[in-house]
Structure 1
Amino acid sequence: MLAGRYEVGRLIGSGATARVYRAFDVRLAREVAVKIYDRDAVALDQRRRLREMTIQGSISHPGVVALLDSGTESGRTYLVMQLVEGENVAERLLGGPMPLAEVTALAGGLAEALAHVHALRVVHRDLKPANVFLSADGPLIGDFGIAHALDATHITGTGLIPGTAAYLAPEQVSGEPAGPPADVYALGLILLECLTGEREYPGTMVEAAMARLTRPPRIPEDVPPSLAHA
């Protein structure tokens, strides 16, 4: 029992510094997702966790996974979040490209959610298929672990480029600060991947970065103009 309230169940996801479990909130009798961070965190990681709590807790939108609670127990920080019943886009793409109508609906939902996030002067900085969840009510953006408030001090380690190589915008690859356009660029790459079933910039960090700086994304000729120029 976590915090005397959450019955932690099976593992449903994991990353470099944390694991996500399905859990049950006995106080409110509801299913939730609990993200538990590793104990051995350096000061930079601890500051990022506090930043994630602050940023995600400030966002209230049906297209963003809601932060419900947070705390520390036995030296581990945890976040309690809305449980999304459904797969993420990365899992969905294992079955191949998505139908045009589905991609169009996805584009609209994510664009609306991003517009709300950006209006709060927050940049996600790590938008990718694995961080977009597909629910019966529409797509949701999750994992604000390296999100940044535009008015705040940067806490990224020296020499590090935040984000996932395949979805970085050119300015991120060049080491420049990421603003809202970087999220929009990543969204475009996600939608392109949904249409083709292929990652536009595959390979290692260096390979993906070099390709980003030497050629624009290749958009199939049969993509409707309304989506190609969204």
Structure 2
Amino acid sequence: MDIGERYRLGERIGGGGSADVHRAWDRVAGREVAVKLFRAGASAAQKRRQEQELRILDRLRHPGLIPLYDSGVRDGRAYLVMRLVPGPSLADRIADGPLPVDETLELGSGLADALAHVHRAGITHRDVKPANVLLAPDGPVLGDFGVAQGLDGARFATSSAVVGTAAYMAPEQVRGAPVGPPADVFALALVLLECLSGHREYRGSLTECAVARLLREPKVPDGLPPHVADVLTRMGNRDPSARPEAREVAGVLRAPAPAVLRPRRRRGLADVVKAAASVAFSLG
């Protein structure tokens, strides 16, 4: 299947309820790309969401985000052309088992840095989760801004609707309260804890895992460097105002563990006598 004369669609490599993502060949640029092809017959609300995603992607340029190359409409179906990331998703990686601490910290600092860029642009992702993180050879990249919103609160759902993925929602998302960058920071904490443990922090049915975070904060495992345990604990605070900003998270996770100074050994009486004897001998 072709999209115009430029793109030759290949196999389907992903997608969701409103769109399919295909591997494609860009005849003009001479490279493989990913084409997100929205389904026909979209409602007015879905079309507005597609336009919002396009505007957001067009504004964002960062190594940790999937870049937008092109967009258009073909046979009544909107499409987005983006970088094709050859690596697996983080969800696929976690399915093979927990990640080492150093790998988790490197991945987390890259994602936090990307989120800091997103937040500076006045955007909240609202759906940070392992399935939306692709592991490119040059580092993790965050994709799928389909439910993102601007900090002006623009969204394409009713005021009572809950938008996001239940297992990674912040408490304020579950409550249907206003959502901003702190919700992304909370979700990133859950993603990193899942990397370390190999399982979701909040499990069970849709309702159970959504309500659980209203009752308890995420559990940070023992054995982590103290500065890492501290930032993860603050990221998972149920109070959005108590969470660190993404840029702080990035700095903490990429920083080496603070050096621990060994206390100087106190000199006892025997040491003093020994030193005095040495001095006396040298003067004798």
Q: Give me the TM-score of the superposition, normalised by structure 2.
A: 0.79
Q: Which residue is 1:14 aligned to?
A: 15
Q: Which residue is 1:84 aligned to?
A: 85
| Cα distance in 2, alignment partners of residues 178 and 158 from structure 1 | 11
Q: Which residue is 1:194 aligned to?
A: 195
Q: Which residue is 2:244 aligned to?
A: none
Residues 1:25 and 2:46 are matched in the alignment: no
Q: Which residue is 1:207 aligned to?
A: 208
Unaligned regions of 5+ residues in structure 1, if any? none
| Cα distance in 1, alignment partners of residues 178 and 28 from structure 2 | 42
Shift of 1:152: 5.2
| Cα distance in 2, alignment partners of residues 108 and 18 from structure 1 | 30
Shift of 1:158: 4.6
Contact 1:165 1:204 in 2 (8 A): no
Unaligned regions of 5+ residues in structure 2, if any? 232-284
For 1:132-211, list aligned pairs within 5 A.
Answer: 132-151=133-152, 153-211=154-212
Shift of 1:135: 1.0
Shift of 1:202: 1.4
State which structure, 1 or 2, has the greater radius of gyration over its C-alpha atoms.
2
Contact 1:55 1:144 in 2 (8 A): yes
| Cα distance in 1, alignment partners of residues 20 and 134 from structure 2 | 17
The farther-off stretch of 123-132 and 144-153 is: 144-153
DSSP-derived class of the 2:131 partner:
helix
Q: Can you list the C-alpha shifts for 1:163-190, whole angstroms capped at 9, x where unaligned?
A: 0000000111111121000000000000
Percent identity of equivalent pairs: 50
Return the structure number with greater helix share.
2
Aligned residues: 230
Q: Which residue is 1:116 aligned to?
A: 117
Contact 1:44 1:157 in 2 (8 A): no
| Cα distance in 1, alignment partners of residues 124 and 13 from structure 2 | 26
Superposition misfits of 4+ residues, deviation over 6 angstroms = none
| Cα distance in 2, alignment partners of residues 221 and 59 from structure 1 | 37
Residues 1:41 and 2:42 are matched in the alignment: yes
| Cα distance in 1, alignment partners of residues 153 and 219 from structure 2 | 35
Q: Give me the TM-score of the superposition, normalised by structure 1.
A: 0.97
